[in-house]
Amino acid sequence: MSIRFVLDGEIVSYDCTDPTETLLEMLRYRLCRTGTKEGCAEGDCGACTVLLGELNDAGTAIAWRAVNACILFVPMLDGRALMTVESLAKDGALHPVQQSLVDLHGSQCGFCTPGFVMSLYGRAIGACGTKDAPVSEVISGNLCRCTGYGPIIAAGKDNPPSPQDDTPTITLLKQIGRTEPLLIDGADKVTGTARSWFAPHTVAQMADRLQQRPEAQVLAGATDVGLWVTKQLRELPDIVWLGEVAELHTMQEDDAGLTLGAGVSFTMAQKALARLHPQLGSLVSRIAGVQVRNTGTIGGNIANGSPIGDMPPALIALGATLTLRKGAERRQMPLEEFFLSYGKQDRTTGEFVEQVNVPRPHPDALIRIAKFSKRFTSDISAVLGAFHLTFEGDKVASARIAFGGMAGTPQRAIATEETLIGHEWCEATIENAAKALAQDYSPLSDLRGSAEYRLTVAANLLRRIWHERQNPDVAPSLHDVEPSHG
């Protein structure tokens, strides 16, 4: 089955026989465009960064976004436009982003450079997730081991956003215009095992397909499932990709809160989440790099049931509910009830996450979300704590506290909440609550932190919140601290 996409002013028809072939494999070994590099094959280094463009609903503009080609499956390219590092130089002249990198000595070994070029080029044309973001955040999903980043950041700053003319690409994308869902009946390249790809256009089509093939793997951004293929060498069964289901990419925001379709990416949701509470927006900035946030979905972050996913504890603290769908049936549950135990969620065969609803917190509520990891940016949490407290006078009126990294699932701290609710907001209460954390959680020791550290930092987070509320000046964020001048 051929998929079609636009590359460098032409429509490319590509015969895709294995739906789990990655975009990177196709570029490097089938199309011989080797400028895009493999650094890790798991979406963590950005050496394979390319830009993926989608026509808007009106057909008037293209939304470009940086993505990691190494964990994107080729069929996800269907009906879209692609730019790689080879696309940029025109008539032998480098694009200004490239020229700045040359002039400022922004490459050393050069292996990561094409990825940085594409991230910075994305910023230069106003790609998703780059607006108003500092250069260092735009390239936080790109690793460089040689330069120390200074000249790359400088090259980014030298190239302020200015839109590119996408008219020719828009015309070509309209020519592709697929009206029927893409269906590939293919097979694994190595083993020959049959494997299908279905990209429904409506939730109803998706639900039908999952009724027919209940063992099919639901796929959203592939930022996790992609690694099952590239790292675990797993042979995926039939795949149902929700990337073309418009209903799952909607956000509804009102006074009551925010409803996110399962296909909404971190980048799409970030500003709406920040309007619910700034702490949610800040949290999104600390989840992976831009490329992963442009692809990965909040629905996927929930559905995969990881004990260290960052959104679930934050959303649990805010009282989020989850809507699951099977066929025409829907059911709703508090988000925390979805996570049954490590690796097990309350989801039956053929059932899928349709949307998540996040109530708007009261303006006076104390919301605090803190993520602890070895590296501040683009790391996986050792511990993520989310606090949602309200007060009546001196007393804590309500408390919803949830942690990630402290148990086999994202989990509420019920005992800790009880030590706070109805009690005076004072140091003694905080110390009681800190002790109660050890009743709520018996964390494991692993490569991200010891059990002792996890309990210590969780308790200290409570103490920090206490200090912050008492006197923000004595507990400023590290990121507000300025160098000394003497």
- Which of 180, 215, 375, 393 touches other proteins (CB under 8 A)? 375
Strand partners, 391: 396
Q: For other proteins, which is the closer residue by CB, 131 or 231?
A: 231
* Closest CA relative to residue 115, chosen from 377, 266, 291: 291
Nearer to other proteins, 8 or 54 (CB): 8
- Rounded Cα distance between 400 and 188, Å, is 46
Segment interacting with other proteins, rule: CB under 8 A, options 214-222, 294-302, 414-422, 468-476: 468-476
460 near other proteins, judged by CB under 8 A = yes
Q: Do 12 and 26 contact (CB within 8 A), yes or no?
A: no
Asked whether 446 and 381 are in contact (CB, 8 A), the reply is: no
Torsion sign, CA atoms 461, 464, 468, 472: negative
Per-residue tokens: 420? 């706070």
Task: Write the binding mask 246 to 285 for other proteins: x where contact by CB under 8 A, - elsewhere.
Answer: ----------------------------------------
Going by their DSSP bridges, the two strands 411-412 and 395-404 should be labelled as antiparallel
Using CB under 8 A, pick the residue from 160, 192, 363, 393 that binds other proteins. Answer: 192
Q: Residue 452 burial (CB < 10 Å; 0-12/13-18/19+)?
A: exposed
Binding to other proteins, residues 399-438 (CB under 8 A): none
- Applying CB under 8 A, among 17, 108, 304, 432 the residue interacting with other proteins is 108
In terms of CB distance, is 285 or 398 closer to other proteins? 285
475 binds other proteins, rule: CB under 8 A: yes
Burial letters for 180-207: b for 16+ Cβ neighbours within 10 Å, e otherwise?
ebbebebebeeeeeebbbbbbbebebbb
Q: Is 90 among the residues that bind other proteins (CB under 8 A)? A: no
Q: Which is nearer to other proteins, 62 or 152 (CB)?
A: 152
Chain Cα centroid distance, residue 461: 25
Which one of 67, 380, 384, 399 is in contact with other proteins (CB under 8 A)?
A: 380
| Cβ pair 279, 366 in contact under 8 A | no
**291 sits near other proteins (criterion: CB under 8 A):** no
Smaller CB separation from other proteins, 285 or 323: 285
Closest contact distance (angstroms) between CB of 259 and other proteins is 31
Residue closer to other proteins, measured from CB, 174 or 374: 374
Q: For residue 30, state whether it binds other proteins (rule: CB under 8 A).
A: no
Residue 229-248 contact track with other proteins, rule CB under 8 A, x = bound: --x-x---------------
Q: Is 450 in the site for other proteins (CB under 8 A)?
A: yes
In the complex, the smallest distance separating the C-beta of residue 116 from other proteins, rounded to whole angstroms, is 9
Q: What minimum distance in Å lies between the beta carbon of 32 and other proteins?
A: 7
- By 3-state DSSP, what share of the chain in percent is helix, strand and coil, each rounded to 5? 35, 25, 40
Rounded alpha-carbon distances, angstroms, from residue 29 to 10, 40, 41, 51, 229: 20, 17, 15, 19, 17
- Strand (E) or helix (H) holding 278: helix 278-285
Q: Identify the residue whose tokens are 């400023």.
A: 476
Instruction: Count the neighbouring beta carbons within 10 Å of the beta carbon of residue 233.
Output: 8
Residues 298-357 that bind other proteins (CB under 8 A): none
Q: Distances from the Cα of 111 to the Cαs of 49, 100, 484, in angstroms?
A: 12, 17, 37
The residue within the footprint of other proteins, chosen from 8, 31, 63, 111 (CB under 8 A), is 111
Binding-site size for other proteins (CB under 8 A) equals 97
218 binds other proteins (CB under 8 A): no
Q: Kindly state the smallest distance separating residue 457's Cβ from other proteins, in Å.
A: 6
DSSP letters along 384-427, please?
A: EEEEEEEEETTEEEEEEEEEESSSSS-EE-HHHHHHHBTSB-SH
Q: DSSP class of residue 242?
A: G
By the 8 A CB rule, do 217 and 240 touch?
yes
> Which stretch, 7-15, 106-114, 297-305, 413-421, contacts other proteins (CB under 8 A)?
106-114
Of 131, 174, 189, 362, the residue at the interface with other proteins (CB under 8 A) is 189
Query: Which part of the chain contacts other proteins (CB under 8 A), choosing from 85-93, 166-174, 211-219, 241-249?
Result: 85-93
Options 372, 403, 425, 441; binder of other proteins; rule CB under 8 A: 372
Phi, psi angles (nearest 5°) of residue 133: -90, 140
Decide: is 35 part of the binding site for other proteins (CB under 8 A).
Answer: yes
Max Cα separation, the chain? Answer: 71
Q: Does 130 bind other proteins (CB under 8 A)?
A: no
- The correct pick among 112, 173, 358, 420 for binding other proteins (CB under 8 A) is 112
CB of 325 to other proteins, least distance (A): 31
* By the rule CB under 8 A, 58 interacts with other proteins: no
Name which position in 49, 84, 321, 409 contacts other proteins (CB under 8 A). Answer: 84
